[in-house]
Amino acid sequence: MAPNSIHWFRKGLRLHDNPALQEAVRGAGTIRCVYFLDPWFAGSSNLGVNRWRFLLQCLDDLDSNLRKLNSRLFVIRGQPANVFPRLFKEWEISRLTFEYDSEPFGKERDAAIKKLAMEAGVEVIIKISHTLYNLDKIIELNGGQPPLTYKRFQTLISRMDPPEMPVETLSSAFMGCCITPVSEDHSEKYGVPSLEELGFDTEGLPSAVWPGGETEALTRIERHLERKAWVANFERPRMNANSLLASPTGLSPYLRFGCLSCRLFYFKLTDLYRKVKKTSTPPLSLYGQLLWREFFYTAATTNPRFDKMEGNPICVRIPWDKNPEALAKWAEAKTGFPWIDAIMTQLRQEGWIHHLARHAVACFLTRGDLWISWEEGMKVFEELLLDADWSVNAGSWMWLSCSSFFQQFFHCYCPVGFGRRTDPNGDFIRRYLPVLRGFPAKYIYDPWNAPDSVQAAAKCIIGVHYPKPMVNHAEASRLNIERMKQIYQQLSRYRGLGQVLAISEALMLDEKAWLTLSCSSPVTPHQLTLGIAHSDLWLVCSWLAMETQFMKPQIHSACADAASRDSLEIYSE
Amino acid sequence: MKSIFSPTQSRAKRQRTGQGVSASQSHVPDWGSLPHHIVLHIFQYLSLVDRARASSVCRCWNDVFHIPELWRRFEFELNQPATSYLRSTHPDLIQQIIKRHAQHLQYVSFKVDSCTESAEAACNILSQLVNCTIKTLGLISTARPSFMNVSQSHFVSALTVVFVNSKSLSSIKIDDTPVDDPSLKVLVANNSDTLKLLKMSSCPHVSPAGILCVADQCHGLRELALNYHLLSDELLLALSSEKHVHLEHLRIDVVSENPGQTQFHSIKKSSWDALIRHSPQVNIVMYFFLYEEEFEPFFCDETPVTHLYFGRAVSKDMLGRIGLNCPRLVELVVCANGLEPLDEELIRIAERCKSLTAIGLGECEVTCSGFMEFVKMCGGRLSQLSIMEEVLIPDNSYSMEQIHSEVSKHLGRIWFPDMMPTW
C-alpha cells in the first residue's frame, strides 16, 4: 500500500531544493505538509512582530504554492511531541520526513520525535539541505572538533567536495498520483493564522520592508545576480551610505527561514561567476555570506551551551557588567549617540541592519562602551533581527565581543566617527531619527557638541528632546581596552580544552605539539608571542605583553574555577 | 612535571620514619605522614578550594594549609550579584585571611565590579592590613571604575594604611582611583627605596607636582603609567637623573572628553633626549583617545615613542608626521583614519621606522599595490600584521586573492587579513 506521508516544515520553508519533501512525495499515496506553531500566542515568546509577520508570510506563501499543486499547508497548534502520535493515527501515517536541523536543541527534539515515530511504525527520512555541507563531515575532517577560526574553516572547506546540487522543485509531475486530502474546514482547522490572531495589535503597523516567502526569495535572488552580473565585480562591495538601507536584493532573512535554498544560491553564484569571468574556479570569498553562516552552524552543532558564557568551552569568561538601565537605553535607541540610535531604530522598525551596523552596535554594547554581556545583545537581536537564528546570532555576538574565535580586538568602532565616515551627510540618521533632522552634517553625529544656537535652530535641545550621550566614549573605550588586556593576559596562562584547540589552530601547530609546549613549562606571554611569530593571528600582541611586568608574581584566584587552576610561577623572583 | 620523589626514595623515607607497615605488607604510601615541606610543595600546585578541602583531611595537612608560604599572594574578588556574573570571595574566607594571614600577605590584588559597595569593601580590607609587608598591590576594577565612587577620604585613608605599614612596596597598580598628591607623598615617605612600578592612569586628583615628587624620591622606579597631563619636562628630567635607575617602561594615556576642551602642552625635545640618553632601552607606550583635530601639539619633533595606539581616528597628516619623527617605533595600531589611501604614509613608516615589528590597521584605506610595497620593505621584520579586510582596496595590479598569496610569500607564512562576519 502506498504510504501516507507527513512532511514536517520547520525551517526549509520552500518547495524548491527540498529533498526531504521529495522523499515524502516519492511513491506516496497522500502527502500532508505540516508546520507547528507553538506558542500559539506570540506574547509568550521573545520574538517581535517583524519576525512573526515574516514567518506568517512564509507560511502563507507555502500554502499558496501548495494550492497550485492541489495541496495545502497544515498549520497545527501545539508541540510536535504531543501532537504527532494523534496525527500518525488519524492520518494513518507510515512516513515522516523533515530537513535536518543541526542545532543542538533541534537534534534533541528530532531524536525524540524519531523515537516516537519508530514506535508508531513510521519510517523517518531526514535530509540535509539547510546547510551547504554535512557539518559532521567538516568536524570529522578537523579531528572531531569544529574549527574555531574562520581561516581554518575555509581550509577545510577547500579540501572537501563541493556541496550537492539542489534538487528540482516539487511539481505536479513529480507528485504524480500523490494527493493531499483537504477537508471543507481546512482553513479553520489548519489555516495560517493572522498577526491579530496571535495577539498583535496591527493598527498603524507599517508594511513589511522584508516580505516573507519563497516566491519573494526567488525573485530577489534573480535581482541579486542581475546586479552582480551588471557590476561584473565579485569583490566585496564597498560600503557607502546606501548600503545601510534595506536592499531589494538582500537575501539573509530568506536564507535563515529557508525560503531560499543556500545550495541554490551557491550554484547560481558559481554559474554566474564562470559566465562573467570565463574561468572555472571561483574564489572562496565569492560565497562569503554563505560560508560565515556555515561556519557558525558548524561551531554550534555539538555545543548546547553555545549561546552562553558560563559552561561554554569556547567562550572566554569576561567580567561583564550587569546594568539593566544601560541595556534598555541601548535596546530602545536612547543612547544619545545618533549613529547607534538610528541603527537600533532601523532594526526595530524593519528587522534588518547592515552587517557593519551590527558590528557598530555590538561593539558599543560589549567591549567598546557599555561593557554589557553579549548574551543580552544576542537576546535583543533574537527578538528583532529577521535573519538571526540561534547558531549565527550567538556565534556572531561572541565574535564581535571578542569572547571567542580568537578575534583580535585592537579595533574599536567609534560611535561618532564610524558613522560619519560611512555617511558623511547624515541622511541615515535623519531618516530614522527625525527629531535630529534639523542638525547640519557637522554636528549630526555628535549633537551634544553643537552650540546652543545650532540646537535651537534645529528645534532639538540635547538633554531635552534627545538624550545626552550615555557614556564618554574616549574614557569608556580606554577603560575597556584595559579590561580586555587583563583578560587576555590571564588567558595566555589558561589551558582549558576549548582554548587549547583554538590556540593550536591559530598557531597552525598540531594539538600534540601545543599540549607538550604548554605542559612542560608555564607558557609566558613572551613565549606565546614567539609562538605566534609565524601565525597571522594577533593573539597576545606584544603591545599587550608589554604591560605584563606588573603581573609578576602569579596571583591566585580565590574563586575555585577549574579553568583557572593554575598555580605556576610565570616570573621567577 | 618531574616526580616529587622516586619510589625507592619513598620506601626509604618510610623506613627512616619508622612507619610500622613494612614494604612487603603495603604498597600504599602513608600520605598523612609526609613531611611538611613535601605537602607544601604539592599544595602549591592546588587551587585554593582544593587546598582547603585537603586541609580537612588531617591535622598535618591542616597545619600545612596555614603555613605562611601559601598565603603570600591573594586576589580578593568583590562582586555583587546585581552587578556581576562572577562570584565573590567568601566573606568568611576574607575574615580568616585578615585574622590569621594578614601579616603573611605580600602580593595582593583586589578585583571589584562596578558596584560602589564592592570598592568600599576593598577599602575596608585595605584598612585592616596593618601588620603587613606588602610588596605588590593592585586595585583593579573589572567593569566601571567603582573606586572613583568611594568617598575620597575613605579611599585615601585606606590606601595610606598600606603605604605606611608595608614599607617595602615594590609594585602598585592604582589606575582609575581617587588617589591624590598627599597620598603619593605618604607612599614616597615610606617606600622610596623599594618602589619599582607605579601604574596610575586616569587618576584625576593627582597633579604634575604629585608625580614629580615620586620621580624625585623613588630612584628605583622602572615602570610608570600615567596620563598626559601629568607628564612634564621636569618629570622626564627627574627620571633621568644620575641617581635614577634605567627606566624600562613609560606608559602615557592621552584622553580627551570633547574636542577643544583640553589643551595639551608639548614636551621639549631636550627632555625626551635626556630620557633616552639615560635609559636607551626604555619602552614609551602612548595611547591616544583624541579627536582628529586635537593632535597638533604631538609629534612635531622627534619623539622617542616605541608603541603607539590610536583609539579613535588619526589623520593622514599625523601618520605622515609619525613616519618622520618616530624612529624608535616598534608597534603601531590605528583604529581609524579616513577615506584617503595611506600608501605614502605607510611606505614612509616602513622606510624610517626600522624597528617596527607590529602594525594594526582598522578603518583605513590602503591600495593593494601600496600595501604590497609596504610588505616588501618591512614584511621580514613584522611579527604582527593585522589588517582588517575592509582596509585593502583592490586595484589594477592586485586583487584580494593575489594579495593573500603575495603577502604570504613575502612573510614566509600564511597570511590573511582580519575578517569580520558578514551575514
Q: Is A388 annotated as a binding residue?
A: yes
Chain A closest CA to B338's CA: distance in Å?
7
Q: Does the CB of A1 have a partner CB in chain B at under 8 Å?
A: no
Q: Residue A289 is nearest to which of B143, B388, B423, comparing CB atoms?
A: B423
Q: A132: annotated binding-site residue? A: no
Q: Residue B280 pLDDT more than 70? A: yes
Mean pLDDT to the nearest integer, B212-240: 96
Please say if the pLDDT value at position A193 is more than 90.
yes
Predicted TM-score (pTM) of this structure: 0.87
Phi-psi region for residue A371, left (φ > 0), alpha (ψ -120 to 50) or beta? left
Beta bridge partners of B386: B360
Q: Which residue of B has its CA nearest to A287?
A: B422
**Least confident stretch, A6-10, A72-76, A510-514:** A510-514
3-class secondary-structure state, position B367: strand
Q: Which residue of B has its CA nearest to A417?
A: B313
Taking one residue from A and the other from B, the number of pairs with CB-CB distance under 8 angstroms is: 238
Q: Using the 8-state DSSP alphabet, how is residue A198 labeled?
A: T
* pLDDT tens-digit readout, B103-135: 999 999 999 999 999 999 999 999 999 888 899
A487 contact partners, CB below 8 Å, separation of at least 6 = A316, A318, A319
- What does the DSSP assignment read for A217-270? HHHHHHHHHHHHHHHT--SPPPP-GGGGS--TT--HHHHHHTSS-HHHHHHHHH
Residues of A in contact with B311 (CB under 8 A): 412, 474, 477-478, 481
For B202, the grid coordinates are: 586616569
CA distance B388 to chain A (A): 9
Per-residue pLDDT, averaged over A97-108, amounts to 96
pLDDT value, residue A38: 76
Average pLDDT score over residue span A67-94: 95
Confidence at residue A558, expressed as pLDDT on a 0 to 100 scale:
27
Which of A270-274, A342-346, B412-416 has maximum average pLDDT?
A342-346
Largest pairwise CA distance in chain B: 87
User: Does the pLDDT value for residue A563 go beyond 50?
Assistant: no
C-alpha cell at A568: 605556576
**Interface check A203 vs B, CB under 8 A:** no
Question: Do A532 and B383 lie within an 8 Å CB cutoff?
Answer: yes
Question: Do residue A373 and residue B420 have CB atoms under 8 angstroms apart?
Answer: no
pLDDT at A363 over 50: yes
Q: Report CA B321 to chain centroid distance, whole Å.
A: 28
- Of chain B, the percentage scoring pLDDT greater than 70 comes to 93
Pairwise CB contact (< 8 Å): B47 & A411: no
CB B368 within 8 A of CB B341: no
Work out the pLDDT band at B43, boundaries 50, 70, 90.
confident
The torsion angles phi and psi of B298, rounded to 5 degrees, stand at: -105, 150
A543 touches chain B (CB under 8 A): yes
CB contact under 8 A, A557 and B77: yes
Contact B82, A322 (CB under 8 A): yes
- Is the pLDDT score of A555 beyond 70? no
Provide the pLDDT confidence category of residue B2 given band limits of 50, 70 and 90: very low
Put simply, the answer to whether B360 touches A408 (Cβ < 8 Å) is yes
Q: Which residues of B touch A412 (CB under 8 A)?
A: 311, 335, 362
A246-292 pLDDT, tens digit each: 999 999 999 999 999 999 999 999 999 888 888 777 888 788 889 99
Write down the mean pLDDT value for chain A.
84
The contacts of residue B321 (CB under 8 Å, 6+ apart) are B298, B299, B300
Q: At what angle do helices A288-300 and A390-400 cross, to 10 degrees?
A: 100
Where is pLDDT greater, at B395 or A496? B395
Nearest residue on chain A to B284, judged by CA atoms?
A546
Q: For residues A234 and A228, is the Cβ–Cβ distance under 8 A?
A: yes
Average pLDDT of the residues in B132-140: 92
For residue A146, is the peptide bond before it cis, meaning its omega torsion is within 30 degrees of 0? no
Percent of chain B with pLDDT over 90: 60
Please tell me the predicted confidence (pLDDT) of residue A566: 28
Beta-bridge partner residues of B359 = B332, B385
Cα separation, A503 vs B413, whole angstroms: 17
* A567 inside 8 A of chain B by CB: yes
Q: Which residues 453-512 of A are in CB contact (within 8 Å) with B?
A: 472-475, 477-479, 481-483, 486, 508
pLDDT at residue A549 in the model: 37
* pLDDT value, residue B175: 95
| More confident call, B262 vs A87 | A87
The pairing of strands B171-173 and B197-199 is: parallel
Is residue B315 within 8 Å of residue B322, measured between CB atoms?
no
Cα separations (Å) of A500 from A147, A274, A524, B57, B126? 12, 40, 15, 34, 37
- In this prediction, residue A492 carries a pLDDT of 59
**Residue range A63-82: mean pLDDT, rounded:** 95
* Alpha helix segments (H runs only) across A74-124: 80-90, 104-119
User: pLDDT tens, A162-189?
Assistant: 999 999 999 999 999 999 999 999 999 9
> Is residue B81 helix, strand or coil?
coil
Instruction: List the grid coordinates of A170.
Output: 516539487
Query: How far, in Å, are A455, B281, B329, B330, B380 from residue B354 at the CA level?
Result: 49, 15, 8, 8, 11
Residues of A in contact with B139 (CB under 8 A): none
To the question of whether residue A152 is assigned a binding role by annotation, the answer is no
* Rounded (10°) CA dihedral A354, A359, A360, A365: 130
Rounded distance between C-alpha atoms, residue B65 and residue B74, angstroms: 14
> In this predicted structure, what is the pLDDT of residue A523?
38
Could A533 and B140 be called an inter-chain contact, meaning their C-beta atoms sit closer than 8 Å? Answer: no
- Above 70 in pLDDT, residue B235? yes
Say which of B109, B197, B363 has its CB closest to residue A421.
B363
Q: CA A8, A14, A19, A23 torsion: positive or negative?
A: positive
Q: Reply yes or no on whether the pLDDT at A3 is more than 90.
A: yes
Counting Cα atoms < 13 Å in the Cβ hemisphere of A205 gives 16
Tell me the three cell numbers of residue A111.
Answer: 531524536
The amino acid at residue B112 is V
In this model, does residue A489 exceed pLDDT 80? no
The answer to whether the CB atoms of B415 and A536 lie below 8 A apart is yes
pLDDT at A498 over 80: no
pLDDT at A322 over 50: yes
Give me the DSSP letters along B168-222.
Answer: ---EEE-TTS---HHHHHHHHHHHTTT--EEE-TT-TT--HHHHHHHHHH-TT--
Whether residue B179 contacts residue B153, with contact meaning beta carbons closer than 8 Å, is answered with: no
Q: How confident is the model at residue B346 (pLDDT cuts 50, 70, 90)?
A: very high
Pairing of strands B197-199, B73-78: unpaired
Q: Which pLDDT does position A235 carry in this prediction?
A: 67
Kindly state the DSSP code that residue A437 receives in the 8-state scheme. Answer: T
pLDDT of residue B26: 59
Q: Is a pLDDT exceeding 90 seen at residue A499?
A: no
Please give, rounded to a whole number of angstroms, the shortest distance from the CA of A454 to a CA of chain B: 17
pLDDT at site A406: 62
CB-CB under 8 Å, B309 with A319:
no
CB of A527 less than 8 A from some CB of B: no
Residues of A in contact with B399 (CB under 8 A): 235
Please judge whether A414 and B312 are an interchain contact, meaning their C-beta atoms are less than 8 angstroms apart.
yes
Q: What percent of chain A has pLDDT over 90?
A: 67
* Residue numbers in B near A536 (CB within 8 A): 385, 413-416
Q: Cβ neighbours of residue A385 under 8 Å, at least 6 residues apart? A: A347, A351, A352, A353, A393
pLDDT of B23 > 60? The answer is: no
pLDDT at A513: 38
Helix or strand holding residue B12 (H, E): helix B7-16
pLDDT value of residue A536: 25
Whether the CB of A534 is below 8 Å from some CB of chain B: the reply is: yes
Which residues between 68 and 107 in chain A have a beta carbon less than 8 angstroms from any beta carbon of chain B? none
Query: CA of B383, closest CA in chain A: separation in Å?
Result: 5
Give me the mean pLDDT over the B247-274 stretch: 91
- The residue of chain B nearest to residue A567, with distances taken between CA atoms, is B45
A-chain residues near B363 (CB < 8 A): 411, 413, 418, 421
Higher-confidence residue of A242 and B400: namely: A242
Are A553 and B107 a contacting pair, CB within 8 Å?
Answer: yes
Task: Tell which residue, A377, A359, A373, has the closest CA to residue A403.
Answer: A373
Query: Nearest CB to B420: which of A309, A359, A448?
Result: A359
SS (H, E, C) B40-67: HHHHCCCCHHHHHHHHCCCHHHHHHHCC
Mean of per-residue pLDDT scores for chain B: 88
